[in-house]
Chain A
Amino acid sequence: MDEGYLSYRRLIWRRFCRHKGGIVAGGVLVSLYLVALGAGIFAPYPHDRTDVRMRHVPPQSLRFSLTDGLHVYGLKSVRNPVTSELEFTPDSDLRFPVRFFSADAENGFRLMTSEGPMFLLGTDRMGRDLLSRILYGGLVSLTVGLIGVMLSLVLGTVLGAVSGYFGGWVDHAIQRIIELLAAFPPIPLWMALGAAVPPGWSSIQTYFGITIILSIISWGGLAREVRGKVLVLREQDYTHAARAAGAGHWHIITRHLLPGCYSHIIVVATLAIPGMILGETALSFLGLGIRPPMTSWGVLLEEAQRVEVLLDNPWLLYPAIPVLFVVIAFNFLGDALRDAADPYGG
């Protein structure tokens, strides 16, 4: 077959497509992001809807029968006299059909709802539906990772390119700053920055504060990589040619040097996102992350971090699964991109 000439980008795409794992991962991620963005529709309940009578309900199964279609059983509850906890059992006499694409005044337009309680992953200590919280939390966690990485990207790329291109004391200064950041223990840095978030900031503002904090710490690695690449590329003929032709520094950096780094940058960025997501869970664990009423996977896991949960209400650990999936998927994707971007590798 006569393939003719393929551009660098097409070459990469073809190599990427050969990596089945990467494609699957990419697909999974895209769908997860779509679901998260559509949390308002996919989730059966709002994320902060509390229901005092429905605390610590175990996950309810979806059942199917020819007469009732897709439905869930109702719940019977008994209060344990000693611990004062409610204990739930499914009541097969009561069946609530699942409705699709319905809107109601209380909950808005949603994909799946039901007249009766439908807690497919159980509820937490305030009677909030875990599935909905995972979806809404996913929106926060996934976007924190993405935005944080984008900020790091910009910071790291620009500073790395500047550092590599100009050399001299600029390079030295930026290198020292990167080293300093690398030598600084991350937790105190997080903590201090977390403590510096002023009072009265809403959850949204805190959310952005957290993403900025996460990105501040991690741009160094990317900057170093970009610098390395730029150091090599700046000695290439075409760079000299451009300079001889009178092109400005900025023009050279953006039009000639950076494009050579793009593939590399994308790979590093993709591999950095899981770190960001895990970083958010760690921050929330320390109490410095997302604040209520917003929720995130980190917040959900922090709430699950009790002996009581592990012994009595283990379904509250489910948020760990999407974290796992997303991190694994990003790693696969990054791997595939890395293999694809390096056409001369083995």
Chain B
Amino acid sequence: MIAYVIRRILMAVPTLVAISIIGFVIIQLPEGDFLDRKIQELQEKYGDSSSMARVEGLRERYGLDRPLWQQYLTWVSGFVQGDFGESFDFEREVDELIWDRLGYTILLSLGSMLFTYVTAIPLGIYSAMHQYRWPDHLLTLIGFVGASIPGFLLALALMVAMFEGFGVPLFGLFSTAYEGAPWSYGKVIDFLNHLWIPVIVVGLNGAAGLMRIMRGNLLDVLGQPFVQTARAKGLKESVVVVRHAVRIAINPLITIFGMSLPGILSGSTIVSIVLGLPTIGPLLLRSLLNEDIFLAGTLLMMFSVLLVIGNLIADIALAWADPRIRYEA
């Protein structure tokens, strides 16, 4: 088991390296660099050529005139030591900008996944137990609808509905009063009050799909002989389902855990943009648009690391549940 875990971790490393290279290249793809734009901005303001000299100094300082591979190596060597470089756009160190946001991103993702599993599993079970009767059809329909609405629209609609209907502005993660304040009981409640819209919007997609899968799996298991046996023994239907069938039907869902992470992270990016949440997604978008390479590169790596960790956990959980997998190459 340990060997398997170590093997998986080791395999993840070259993947991350490859991603960092590809990512770095992609970020630089659009013409020019951030400082070219800065020149334009300065010229509009200062209207003179002294801005050119200013910016040339910056270009040298950030090493933007050196070849791409050198820039990459500089960045990577700094990255490994914990120096993520500087953001041109915000004019401050990258790590000042990201840690809080990383925390909120993880909270949002975990919240969404919790929501997904907590709604999908019971509803999937219920749906399976009433197969082809009206509750099943209704839930299926709701599931499909939930999976099809574009996230950004739902987020905005909910936010505006809450505002119009209840007079509560629910953008960002905190109300104005609590934003700068230190953590307190009130602040936690405020945070939860703001969190439910993004959690629902992000988790809805996954919930719908998961519900269907749960239903399908459970139906498969319920068709098997041992279930007939249990029923023949006179056990109550709900006991049969919950205590015996569900446990087996849930197994494949563990793999899905890892695969749903990309969806959750990208879904949360879009929702965060609409709702103005302080998470990684919007910052990444902005830095990519501005070619703010060190910030974008760092965030990209954070995203990828989260994904890889998620997959790792999923694989490990699966290996723990199903021993055959440990011996696969």
A binding-site residues for B, Cβ under 8 Å:
176, 179-180, 182-189, 191-193, 195-196, 274, 278, 281-282, 285-286, 301, 304-305, 307, 310-311, 317, 320, 323-324, 327-328, 331-332, 335, 345-346
| Stretch among B47-55, B249-257, B300-308 lining the A interface | B300-308
| Chain B nearest Cβ from A315, distance in angstroms | 14
Q: List 6 A-B contacts (CB under 8 A).
A: A180-B15, A183-B307, A185-B284, A187-B284, A188-B284, A331-B144
Q: Is the CB of A191 within 8 A of B149?
A: no
The secondary-structure label for the interface of chain A is: helix
In the complex, what distance in Å separates the CA atom of A193 from the CA atom of B30?
Answer: 9
Query: Does B22 belong to the interface (CB within 8 Å)?
Result: yes
In the complex, what distance in Å separates the CA atom of A327 from the CA atom of B284?
Answer: 29
1/0 contact string of B119-161 vs chain A (CB within 8 Å): 0000000000000000000000100110111111100110010
CB closest residue in chain B, given A177: B18
The secondary-structure label for the interface of chain B is: helix
Q: Is the CB of A186 within 8 A of B304?
A: no
In the complex, what distance in Å separates the CA atom of A309 from the CA atom of B220?
Answer: 46
Give the contacting residue for B311; candidates A183, A305, A324; CB below 8 A: A183
Q: Is the CB of A186 within 8 A of B266?
A: yes
| Chain A nearest Cβ from B94, distance in angstroms | 16
CB closest residue in chain B, given A277: B148
Q: Is the CB of A195 within 8 A of B23?
A: no
1/0 contact string of B203-237 vs chain A (CB within 8 Å): 00000000010000001100100000000000000
1/0 contact string of B296-329 vs chain A (CB within 8 Å): 1000100110011001000000000000000000
> Other than the known A188-B23, A310-B156, A328-B145, what 11 A-B pairs have Cβ atoms closer than 8 Å?
A180-B18, A183-B307, A186-B262, A192-B288, A195-B30, A282-B151, A301-B150, A301-B152, A324-B149, A327-B144, A331-B144
* Known A311-B160, A327-B148: A183·B308 in contact at CB below 8 Å: yes
Q: Number of contacts between A and B (CB, 8 Å)?
A: 113
| Chain B nearest Cβ from A282, distance in angstroms | 6
* Known A188-B288, A188-B300, A191-B288: A179·B160 in contact at CB below 8 Å: no
* Known A317-B153, A327-B148: A192·B27 in contact at CB below 8 Å: yes
CB closest residue in chain A, given B141: A328
| Chain A nearest Cβ from B3, distance in angstroms | 20
CB closest residue in chain B, given A195: B30
Give the contacting residue for B150; candidates A187, A195, A281; CB below 8 A: A281
Chain B residues, Cβ within 8 Å of A188 = 23, 26-27, 284, 288, 296, 300, 303
Chain B residues, Cβ within 8 Å of A332 = 144
Q: Is the CB of B152 within 8 A of A285?
A: yes
In the complex, what distance in Å separates the CA atom of A27 from the CA atom of B307?
Answer: 39
In the complex, what distance in Å separates the CA atom of A228 from the CA atom of B15?
Answer: 22
On chain B, which size bracket covers the interface? 35 or more
Query: Does B98 belong to the interface (CB within 8 Å)?
Result: no
Give the contacting residue for A179; candidates B15, B30, B269, B274; CB below 8 A: B15
Chain A residues, Cβ within 8 Å of B30 = 195-196
1/0 contact string of B39-57 vs chain A (CB within 8 Å): 0000000000000000000
Q: Is the CB of A187 within 8 A of B152?
A: no
Chain A residues, Cβ within 8 Å of B144 = 327-328, 331-332
* Known A285-B152, A310-B157, A317-B153: A187·B147 in contact at CB below 8 Å: no
Q: Is the CB of B145 within 8 A of A183?
A: no
In the complex, what distance in Å separates the CA atom of A346 from the CA atom of B212?
Answer: 15
Chain A residues, Cβ within 8 Å of B147 = 274, 327, 331
Q: Is the CB of B27 within 8 A of A185?
A: no
| Chain B nearest Cβ from A124, distance in angstroms | 16
Q: Is the CB of B284 within 8 A of A320?
A: no
* Known A184-B304, A192-B288: A285·B262 in contact at CB below 8 Å: no
